[in-house]
Structure 1
Amino acid sequence: MRRPQLEPVPGLPNRVRIYEVGARDGLQNEQQVVPVEDKAMFVRMLAETGLETIEVTSFVSPQWVPQLADASELLAILGEEGLGRHRPVLVPNERGLDRALEAGVSAIAIFGSATETFARKNLNRSVAESVQMFAPVVYRAKEQDAWVRAYLSMCFGDPWEGNVPIPQVVDAARRLMDLGCDELSIGDTIGVATTGHTKRLLEALVEAGIGIDRLAVHFHDTYGQALANTIAALQSGVTIVDSSAGGLGGCPYAKSATGNLATEDLLWALDGLGVETGVDLKKLVATSVWMAGQLGRQSPSRVVTALGESV
């Protein structure tokens, strides 16, 4: 299988931790419901590639995300493979937390919004009310010694409100981190970010007291900018990147949110730059080719398309 020519560039981290979201964020946006046995196989195959962190599923209401209604069953099938600090699940509220803890989960993620409109559409609450809802979730999770991540959506633009001022994003981010979260993922939910915007927002977050080591980036590729923005984030000191195997995903509540940054596309770039990830590109391409077959369509990842026949 062809590999990129190694040409390191100064100013990048030696190692990046990939936070794989394909099994949750990727599959939640599929029109068809993937059988739970196939989801379990997908998680296992992802783990075999060397991916350290894999977000497994979501304990949201089946009414809103029917694709992930089998969360408890999936974790039961996976057993220890689906649990631990590196197998987080998304929870929206205390009810979701209860279900997650009952399943033995020890790492969770909550999801907030930087804009009022999306907070209403996604959580049926204002930004402030959302934070109030998350407070007991984080508190109780930490009481159980669980690791907690916060997602913040609409950090670079909102389909209803347009441009989102950087101070507004920083304020929303600070509110979530003040709850006691361990990590914050900054989301470009509709894929409108640019490299300069990325660097300036990260600077503002650090200036507000959120350490760069606690920040992750989550870019969608609507305008083809996800990889460029990710490299800009790495140049700013970020070492945690969200991506989705095969470029699966989007957001069911924002129609203009297309797929996530493909993990294979990210790996190709990082391998060529000499940035370590611990992930086997050949195995990951094979995994995404397999999942594309289960979904009955081609992967949107350029690297999967280029290398798929060689694995």
Structure 2
Amino acid sequence: MTHVRIYEVGPRDGLQNEKAVIAVDDKVALIKALVDAGLKDIEVGSFVSPKWVPQMADTDRVMAALDYTNDVNYATLVPNVKGWEGFVQASANLPRNAGEIAVFIAASEGFSKANLNCTVEESLSRLAPVVEAAQSAGVPVRGYVSCITDCPFDGPTPPEAVVRAVEGLRRLAPMPVSLGDTIGAGTPETVTRVIKAVAETMPISDVAGHFHDTGGRALDNVQASLELGVRVFDAAVGGLGGCPYAPGAPGNVATEAVVERVEALGYSTGLDHAALARAGVMARKLRG
């Protein structure tokens, strides 16, 4: 049976937009519940400006409280050199490598300017020293590309713009890349066009799908991606989250729903359904 890997983003992408402060102990308890469900890749926080994303200001404390005796990859988002410095400081005294870092750019200029206050090309230039430093330190890097089918500012995103963004990231390092339908406007048809275009420039084994369920098509987009050979999907337990810089994007596709769909299609995830359901209940209690 073919395995599909679920990359859990709930503790970071899911919680980053919550207004009420969530205690470190609650975040760590959620992460532990996800580990108990069998998830091996969990995004636990980000080193971004606490002024802009206050919910992630305690990522260093979350990292310090995690269990590093298991084989789980705890990932964090690192958008710039200052974020890299925060990651290095937070991981300095941990018993092993703290996991991988994720870097991100947009496929559309409008979203790049709204989210990063720079052009796509400028965002790549900002990331270059981060990726170089991570490679020198032996820290794995994962890339995100936002707005792969539609942008809240520019409208439909041409597949060639996504390809340019992916190629820009992979010029920095041969990293895996997660393709994000940030506002949930993608359809199986538009997602298929993008993945086919991207697959001409990088191995499909390094491609992940990251879908929001705004338009109710996330699971259909997962299925379309599976048919093209994608075997990694980002998801947020309980359907948590949404990007603060993407108007109208209420939440990521729920991990539970992705697991149910891919297993119904004959793939395996290796996850414990009952434990995942318990984590989902916990996640929903954390919502504002």
Q: How high is the TM-score relative to the length of structure 2?
A: 0.94
Match of 1:28, SS state, is coil
- Give 1:181 deviation, angstroms: 4.3
Counterpart-to-counterpart distance in 1, 2:152 and 2:99: 34
Counterpart-to-counterpart distance in 1, 2:40 and 2:71: 11
Partner residue, 2:106: 113
Counterpart-to-counterpart distance in 2, 1:17 and 1:220: 17
Counterpart-to-counterpart distance in 1, 2:32 and 2:286: 15
Partner residue, 1:302: none
Question: Which 4+ runs in 1 deviate beyond 4 A?
Answer: none
2:5 to 10, 17, 20: 17
2:37 to 49, 70, 78: 49
Matched, 1:278 2:267: no
Counterpart-to-counterpart distance in 2, 1:71 and 1:52: 19
- Give 1:271 deviation, angstroms: 2.2
Partner residue, 2:94: none
Matched, 1:96 2:83: yes
Match of 2:101, SS state, is strand
- Give 1:127 deviation, angstroms: 0.6
Partner residue, 1:67: 55
Q: How high is the TM-score relative to the length of structure 1?
A: 0.88
Match of 1:130, SS state, is helix
Partner residue, 1:134: 127
- Give 1:77 deviation, angstroms: 1.5
Counterpart-to-counterpart distance in 1, 2:79 and 2:256: 29
CA RMSD of aligned residues (A): 1.5
Cα displacement string for residues 134-160 of structure 1 (whole angstroms, at most 9, x for unaligned residues): 001001101111110010001110111
- Give 1:95 deviation, angstroms: 1.0
Partner residue, 2:254: 262
Do the aligned partners of residues 267 and 85 (structure 1) sit closer, same or farther apart at CA in structure 2, a change above 3 Å counting?
A: closer
Q: In the alignment, is the contact (CA less than 8 A) between 1:84 and 1:106 conserved in 2?
A: no
Q: In the alignment, is the contact (CA less than 8 A) between 1:52 and 1:86 conserved in 2?
A: yes
Counterpart-to-counterpart distance in 2, 1:53 and 1:106: 9
Matched, 1:186 2:174: no
Counterpart-to-counterpart distance in 2, 1:294 and 1:248: 9
Counterpart-to-counterpart distance in 1, 2:55 and 2:10: 13
Counterpart-to-counterpart distance in 2, 1:291 and 1:220: 17
Counterpart-to-counterpart distance in 2, 1:85 and 1:109: 16
Size of the alignment, in residue pairs? 282
- Give 1:109 deviation, angstroms: 0.1
The unaligned stretches of length 5 or more in structure 2 are 92-97
Match of 2:229, SS state, is coil
Q: In the alignment, is the contact (CA less than 8 A) between 2:107 and 2:147 conserved in 1?
A: yes
Counterpart-to-counterpart distance in 2, 1:219 and 1:74: 26
Do the aligned partners of residues 252 and 181 (structure 1) sit closer, same or farther apart at CA in structure 2, a change above 3 Å counting?
A: farther
The unaligned stretches of length 5 or more in structure 1 are 1-12, 297-311
Letter in 2 for 1:174: E
Partner residue, 1:204: 197
Match of 1:140, SS state, is helix
- Give 1:85 deviation, angstroms: 7.0
